[in-house]
Amino acid sequence: MQNKPHIRPQTISALSLLLLLLALAGCRTSRTVAVREANVSKEAEAFFFSVRKQAFHYRTLSARTRVELNLPGKELSSRVDIRMIKDSVFQLSVQPFAGIEVLRVEFGIDSVKVIDRMNRRYVLESYADLKEAVPVGFNFYNLQALFTNQIFIPGEREITPMQYGRFTLEQDRAATRARISDAMKLLYAFTADGEEKLLSTNVADPSDHYLLQWQYSDFRLMEEQTFPMHMEAKLLRDGTPAGEMNLTFSRIQRDVPVVASFPIPERYKRITWAEIIKGLGS
């Protein structure tokens, strides 16, 4: 009888991190916001113009982070290297010890790939198929924006001036809050400071059970642009913490050549995302 592959603690740590990331992406919202395509106010035009000016601009991005994952009864951490080619591909290389990669994850425009080097297996699934196992609620471009501190419209590639009116704005001296909902009743709430620098993105569940809070802090100047060197994601279930992920960046490089290869060894076994979740549960 062939022995089943042994899932080591480091691999469980890395897979748990990925599961939380995808779970965070799948929250659903509690309220709806009026949709207004026309008659964009001057306040909205000025706000979004300033937001786009303050946003982090890049063609490629490479970064090194320390990711700390806190789940009920479990604390995990790992070094994660990030490689991004804007509007094309987003890779995570999970290296729990001494720079040795145990997982490589690639988010493409239409699909996600995962290589589990510890157990010699891989996943290759379209987002349409992935929704059957994990309720991913937004697209590649939204995920890209979330990791680079930018406002987005759920399901869209970018925000055009004609779409400014889809947001509801609440402004005071200290902050501006921009809210938008989608066809699935997801409510996205973005909070920016007085300089129109994005400080947080919240996503609420329609049944009031789940709330995702993604916060940005420790902004540092890099080539006349600011980037948040710390990101904190919290998932709340009925007001109780259900998971937390902290990303601390130690290195950021913008517009340098990035190689985002994803070779899959011939002897690796292809499995489904559902099989990974089942393995973690057991």
Superfamily per CATH, domain 9-281: Lipoprotein localisation LolA/LolB/LppX (2.50.20.10)
Mean pLDDT for the chain?
82
Confidence of residue 21 (pLDDT cuts 50, 70, 90): low
- Kindly state the average pLDDT of the residues 239-260: 92
CA distances from 242 to 38, 72, 90, 258 (A): 39, 7, 26, 35
| Helices vs strands, H then E, count in the chain | 5, 14
Which of 19-23, 37-41, 115-119 is the most confident on average?
A: 115-119
Domains of the chain: which residue ranges? 9-281
The model carries a pTM of 0.83
Q: Kindly report, residue by residue over 65-80, the tens digit of the pLDDT.
A: 999 988 877 888 999 9
Model confidence at 135, pLDDT cuts 50, 70, 90, reads: low
Query: What are the strands, taking DSSP E only, across the chain?
Result: 60-71, 74-85, 89-95, 103-108, 111-116, 121-126, 168-171, 175-181, 187-193, 198-204, 210-222, 225-237, 240-254, 269-270
Identify which of 117-131, 193-207, 247-261 has the greatest average pLDDT: 247-261
**DSSP designation for 237:** E
Mean pLDDT of the region 51-57:
90
Higher pLDDT, 79 or 6: 79
CA distances 72 to 96, 113, 122, 237, 246, Å, are: 20, 27, 27, 12, 15
